């Protein structure tokens, strides 16, 4: 078996292969730990499916209003059990993570309420939802205010100022687990738990919502295990396992889910309507595969960190830190470095590998953004992908890979592109 020849057919030089092989050899022990987490989470998902008595009858499609959709209702029971919540809203009508977060917030906030982010600025696409950047239909237009407390320089919570920021109007705490387009640390579930406990001591009735995107199944526990009232995410990220063609989820307290459902559909309708249109099997099977798919993505992220840190680039998390999401930030310091990296990820794709990604003015962002993703599902960032705003510090955000081997190929291809452009030496 000539592996060098196989990689050579895709344009990977022996110099790149030899450099990467040394890095990979050093990660065997960490990869075994990731596999152990995946095994734990795989059993957790199977147990949830068995307890909900999943059958092939639950894969049947519904149309129109979707009344009495047994598959939809049972899938929501599975999510509630797997994530240890009282109830869940899992729908193809939730078109993205941003939409799911919007529904969760809109359903549980009223005019005069205030949102507090104790972890700094939220992900870019939420800025217009909240009204940090003015936009039609923002929560700000409905009389809902917002304030934030930035993290301390070392990435820890500013407890003193969080306490000062909580007031009689504070209704919902928005905690973003992953880093977004930032180079701050991703929050571990235990750290999120500490923050929630602190906040609940000050105001017990406040709703703590965690944006769980990119974090599902990276650890053996989720934010709902440590006091979160709602966790929210996208099905074309971790929990969809690469098979979900669309969708989002909200899991948590029953009353919070009920209010979100009334916002998604209409007052008086709630969870009773919403056809599944034949996607149910993909949503079930994607969740089933998710723990092992996520494990492959985490391996790819750790591999990328070690590969690029060794070359002198700043990486977050660094090569040895514990992992709490699937995202790897790499700071190149130049637009050219970011672009070449993304070209490499695109060239490794099974779909649209011949396309050259270019920065563009993507809706919801305040700068040009470059995105590399040759995905089976458009925008599916559990699949091998990378994206970056073209602005200082010129950091790229790499994630995904439905298999470890594909994630590895993407990093090899990115190295090759940077090497060929004279931006690195091996």
Residues 129 and 202 in one domain: yes
Judgement on whether residues 272 and 299 belong to the same structural domain of the protein: no
- The segments of the chain whose pLDDT lies below 50 read none
Same domain, 184 and 318: no
Decide the pairing of beta strands 145-148 and 207-211: unpaired
In a domain, 264, yes or no: yes
CA dihedral 337, 339, 343, 344 (to 10 degrees): 20
Distance CA 136, CA 138 (A): 6
* Domains contained in the chain, number: 2
Residue 58 falls inside a structural domain = no
Instruction: Let me know whether 260 and 307 are in one domain.
Output: no
Q: What is the pLDDT of residue 87?
A: 98
Residues 274-305: pLDDT tens digits?
Answer: 999 999 999 999 999 999 999 999 999 999 99
Helices and strands per DSSP (H, E), number in the chain: 12, 12
Residues 186 and 264 in one domain: yes
Domain contains 55: no
Which residues are within 8 A (CB) of 359 and not within 5 positions of it... i.e. 6 or more apart? 335, 339, 368, 369, 370, 390
How does DSSP classify residue 375? Answer: -
Same domain, 300 and 267: no
| CATH number of 183's domain | 3.40.640.10
Domain shared by 31 and 69, yes or no: no
Tell me the DSSP string of 94-131: S-SHHHHHHHHHHHH--TT-EEEETTSS--HHHHHHHT
Report if residue 57 sits inside a domain: no
In a domain, 346, yes or no: yes
pTM equals 0.95
In a domain, 30, yes or no: yes
If 0-12 CB within 10 Å is exposed, 13-18 middle and 19+ buried, where does residue 17 land? Answer: middle
For helices 14-25 and 404-420, angle between their N-to-C axes, nearest 10 degrees = 130
Residues 394, 317, 233: CA angle, nearest 5 degrees: 90
Q: Which residues make Cβ contacts (< 8 Å) with residue 420, sequence separation at least 6?
A: none
**Do 256 and 374 share a domain, yes or no?**
no
> Cα–Cα distance between 82 and 84 in angstroms, integer?
6
Q: Are residue 74 and residue 171 in the same domain, yes or no? A: yes
Q: What is the pLDDT of residue 41?
A: 98
Residue 135 structure tokens: 């936009």
pLDDT at 364: 67
Tens-digit pLDDT profile for residues 337-351: 999 999 999 999 999
| DSSP string for residues in 22-88 | HHHHTTHHHHHHHHHHHHHHHHHHHHHHHHTT--GGGG----TT-TT-HHHHHHHHHHHHHTT-SEE
Within a domain: 123: yes
236 and 177 housed in the same domain: yes
**Lateral strand order in the sheet of 248-252:** 87-91, 248-252, 230-234, 207-211, 170-176, 114-117, 145-148
Are residues 363 and 258 part of one domain? no
Name the 3-class secondary structure at 296. Answer: helix
Contact 390, 367 (CB under 8 A): yes
**Residue at a domain's end among 251, 277, 303:** 277
Boundary residue ending a domain (277, 311, 345): 277
Backbone torsions φ then ψ of 400, nearest 5 degrees:
90, -170
What pLDDT is recorded for position 398? 96
Strand, coil or helix: 336: helix
Q: What is the pLDDT of residues 14-30, one digit of tens each?
A: 999 999 999 999 999 99
DSSP annotation of 297 reads H
| Structure token pair of residue 279 | 């996607």
State whether 241 and 370 are in the same domain: no
Last residue of a domain, one of 277, 302, 331: 277
Q: Establish if 282 belongs to a structural domain.
A: no
Beta bridge partners, 372, equal 386
CATH label of the domain that carries residue 347: 3.90.1150.60
C-alpha distances in Å from residue 218, one per residue of 44, 166, 282, 297, 301: 13, 31, 21, 9, 12
- Per the structure, the complete domain to which residue 402 belongs is given by 3-42+288-420
């Amino acid at each position: 078996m000539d592996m060098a020849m196989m990689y050579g057919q895709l344009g990977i030089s022996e110099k790149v292969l030899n450099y990467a092989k040394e890095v990979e050899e050093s990660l065997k022990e960490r990869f075994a730990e990731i596999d152990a987490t995946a095994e734990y989470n795989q059993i957790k998902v199977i147990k949830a499916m068995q307890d909900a008595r999943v059958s092939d009858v639950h894969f049947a499609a519904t149309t129109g209003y979707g009344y009495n959709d047994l598959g939809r209702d049972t899938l929501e029971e599975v999510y509630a059990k797997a994530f240890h919540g009282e109830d869940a809203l899992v729908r193809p009508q939730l078109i993205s993570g941003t939409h799911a977060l919007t529904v969760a917030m809109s359903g549980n906030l009223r005019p005069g309420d205030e949102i507090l982010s104790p972890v700094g600025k939220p992900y870019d696409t939420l800025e217009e939802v909240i009204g940090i950047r003015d936009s039609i239909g923002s929560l700000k237009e409905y009389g809902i205010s917002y304030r934030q407390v930035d993290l301390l320089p070392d990435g820890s919570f500013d407890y003193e100022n969080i306490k000062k920021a909580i007031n009689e109007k504070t209704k919902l705490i928005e905690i973003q687990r992953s880093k977004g387009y930032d180079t701050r640390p991703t929050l571990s579930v235990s750290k999120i738990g500490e923050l929630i406990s602190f906040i609940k001591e000050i105001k017990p009735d406040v709703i703590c919502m965690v944006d769980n995107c990119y974090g599902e199944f990276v650890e053996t526990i989720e934010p709902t295990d440590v006091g979160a009232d709602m966790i929210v995410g996208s099905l074309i990220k971790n929990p969809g396992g690469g098979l979900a063609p669309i969708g989002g989820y909200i899991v948590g307290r029953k009353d919070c889910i009920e209010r979100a459902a009334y916002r998604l559909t209409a007052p008086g309708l709630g969870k009773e309507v919403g056809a599944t249109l034949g996607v149910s099997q993909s949503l079930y099977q994607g969740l089933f595969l998710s723990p092992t798919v996520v494990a492959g993505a985490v391996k790819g992220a750790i591999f990328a960190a070690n590969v690029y840190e060794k070359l002198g680039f700043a990486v977050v998390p660094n090569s040895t830190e514990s992992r709490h999401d699937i995202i790897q930030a790499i700071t190149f310091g130049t637009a050219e470095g970011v672009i070449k990296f993304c070209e490499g990820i695109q060239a490794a794709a099974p779909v649209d590998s011949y396309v050259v990604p270019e920065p563009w003015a993507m809706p919801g962002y305040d700068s040009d953004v470059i995105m590399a993703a040759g995905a089976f599902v458009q925008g599916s960032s559990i699949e091998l992908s990378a994206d970056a705003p073209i602005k200082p510090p010129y950091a790229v955000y790499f994630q995904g890979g439905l298999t470890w081997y594909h994630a590895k190929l993407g990093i090899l291809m990115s190295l090759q592109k940077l090497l060929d452009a004279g931006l690195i030496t091996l």
